[in-house]
């Protein structure tokens, strides 16, 4: 039982959710095999310093991180530009990968420069014009006790074409969001706010709830009822011309989040990190998600509550277009955020 007053935005749906609970907590996974992510028949994955054929990049069933979620990962995008594919904020993503590894006492057996170059190389070798890039580091199968001392750290980087995470229509028309019953934990904030594999069980179940109930995405709360984040995105509200985002606690300190905050300030938009409650969604003018996969995605409705006039708002549009100009190399500002993949 939650120990905070039930927000009005949630209360209207409690009975319905109670009836659907069993269905919502049963994740739905498509029958499509993972191998279909391969961009072409001779696609490869960078694994422990070598290019390995896509189908051969496998692990042992007793891999420590498979059992305990003790791996760390990142998600990056390479965007098409006039000068070829460019990875957005590569160095910042790699720094966060190493920071996450430090949280689980993992030593990555490659330098930051080697990881950066491997991310560039995997896009080139797979002949991708745009790409989602997934580096992951994990403990091997040399032992299955909880203590990972002495286990080999494996590192892999995959890249494939992945369209807008929440759909092109979502970018234009906005998405319908579900307030999840899954609670984010603020305890041990450095762990919960790092990209550690095990942390994403919360996100996977919350996403399953949302999708199975016909929604586009989930919004998660903390134990005291405050808003944390989306299942894989940070949240922003627009109110009276000001941008508001939840203060960090259990939420990831997203790189796209920081990008939008910096861009907004450059546009003369005041930004405030604050405690946000679900009720704040009822009186905001606009809302949107940000993330590497989601980019800048408007929210048109949360549960039964229409946001603003139910469409992408003017400030969301302004920031979305500025973001697209930067990542595609059309803007003269922040070109240092782009790392081109060509040699």
Phi, psi of 67 (to 5 degrees): -85, -35
Active-site annotation holder among 129, 149, 195, 211: 195
> H or E stretch including 235?
strand 234-239
* Sign of the C-alpha dihedral computed for residues 120, 57, 63 and 24 taken in this order: positive
Helices (H), the chain: 8-11, 14-24, 64-68, 90-103, 112-125, 168-173, 189-192, 200-212, 255-266, 314-327
Q: What angle do CA 270, 290, 183 make, to 5 degrees?
A: 105
Q: What is the DSSP string of 61-96?
A: TT-HHHHH---EE--EEEE--TTS-EEETHHHHHHH
- How far is CA 125 from each of CA 42, 79, 240, 292, rounded to the nearest angstrom? 10, 16, 48, 22
Residue 238 in contact with residue 188, Cβ under 8 Å? no
Give dist(CA 37, CA 132) in Å, integer: 11
From residue 259, how far is each of 3, 17, 122, 290, 326 by CA, in Å? 35, 36, 25, 9, 10
Quick check: is 149 catalytic?
A: no
- Beta bridge partners, 138, equal 154
User: DSSP labels for 92-110?
Assistant: HHHHHHHHHHHHTT---SS
Active site residues: 195
């Amino acid at each position: 039982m939650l120990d905070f007053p039930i927000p009005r935005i949630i209360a209207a749906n409690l009975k319905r959710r109670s009836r659907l609970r069993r269905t919502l907590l049963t994740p739905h996974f498509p029958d499509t095999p993972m191998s279909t992510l391969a961009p072409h028949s001779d696609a490869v994955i960078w694994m422990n310093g070598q290019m390995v054929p896509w189908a051969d990049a496998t692990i042992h069933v007793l891999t420590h991180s498979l059992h305990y979620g003790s791996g760390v990962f990142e998600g990056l995008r390479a965007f098409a530009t006039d000068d070829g594919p460019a990875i957005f904020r590569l160095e910042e993503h790699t720094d966060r990968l190493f920071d996450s590894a430090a949280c689980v006492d993992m030593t990555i057996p490659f330098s930051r420069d080697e990881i950066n170059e491997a991310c560039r190389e995997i896009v080139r070798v797979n002949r991708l014009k745009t790409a989602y890039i997934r580096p992951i580091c994990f403990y091997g199968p040399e032992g299955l006790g909880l203590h990972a001392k002495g286990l080999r750290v494996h590192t892999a980087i995959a890249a494939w074409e992945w369209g807008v995470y929440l759909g092109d229509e979502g970018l234009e028309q906005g998405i319908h969001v579900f307030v999840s019953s899954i609670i984010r934990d603020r305890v041990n904030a450095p762990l919960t706010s790092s990209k550690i594999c095990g942390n994403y069980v919360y996100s996977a179940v919350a996403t399953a709830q949302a999708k199975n109930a016909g929604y586009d995405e989930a919004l998660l709360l903390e134990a005291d009822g405050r808003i944390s984040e989306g299942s894989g995105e940070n949240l922003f509200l627009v109110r009276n011309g000001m941008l508001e985002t939840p203060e960090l606690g259990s939420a990831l300190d997203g790189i796209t989040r920081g990008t939008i905050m910096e861009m907004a300030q450059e546009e003369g938009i005041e930004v405030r990190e604050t405690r946000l409650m679900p009720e704040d969604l009822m009186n905001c003018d606009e809302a949107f998600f940000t993330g590497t996969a989601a980019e800048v995605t408007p929210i048109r409705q949360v549960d039964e509550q229409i946001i603003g006039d139910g469409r992408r708002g003017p400030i969301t549009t302004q920031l979305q277009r500025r973001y697209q100009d930067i990542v595609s190399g059309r803007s003269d500002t922040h070109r240092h955020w782009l790392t081109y993949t060509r040699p």
